[in-house]
Amino acid sequence: MANIFIDETTEDVVDTIKQTMSVKLDDDSGQPTVSFATNRGKGSGAQQISTDDFDEYVAALEEVVDNGLPEQVQWDMSPADMVRDTIRNVDGVITFRVRNGKGSKPAKIPSDRFSEVVTLLRSTVSLVETAAGSLSDSDESAEE
């Protein structure tokens, strides 16, 4: 389907926020939320933020105004740094990534099993290193 009336004009972001900002009770939680759009059209939607979090949200944006954008996540970040950067507890599930990019999927571990999983992984470190060493040894033998 093709839109006959394609409008290439871009609405001013300040005007859009002024026209769309409202405070209402969230349908699910019953808590006050502020909602506003920064742009319109396909692929855009309203920002919805708890009014309790709004001041801190604006302060974070002010930090960017004052200090510039933070350094972008490095694509070559080590897996440990990637975990530190992405780890979250979402509804009782610990999620994190070990790499970025197309096809990368987050690990998802129930939070009540997280410590057990980490203990298991710690117990395998020397086994993994030994296995990696034997692979390297077999590669060297094959080359000779």
Helix (H, G, I), strand (E, B) or coil at 23: strand
Residue 6: its pLDDT value, please? 54
Whole-number Å distance between alpha carbons of 25 and 85: 32
pLDDT tens digits for range 22-81 = 898 888 888 898 888 887 777 667 788 889 888 888 888 788 778 876 666 566 777 788
| Residue 8 lies inside a defined structural domain of this protein | no
pLDDT tens digits for range 92-132 = 888 888 777 767 778 888 888 888 888 888 988 888 888 88
The residue segments making up the domain with residue 18 are 13-67
Token output for 34: 């502020």
Shared domain for 63 and 90, answered yes or no, is no
Shared domain for 85 and 138, answered yes or no, is yes
| Residue 6 lies inside a defined structural domain of this protein | no
| Residue 135 lies inside a defined structural domain of this protein | yes
* Contact in structure between 36 and 48 (CB atoms under 8 Å): no
HEC string of 106-138 equals CEEEEHHHHHHHHHHHHHHHHHHHHHHHHHHHH
* Contact in structure between 114 and 94 (CB atoms under 8 Å): yes
In this prediction the pTM is 0.49
The distance from CA 11 to its chain's CA centroid, rounded to whole angstroms, is 28
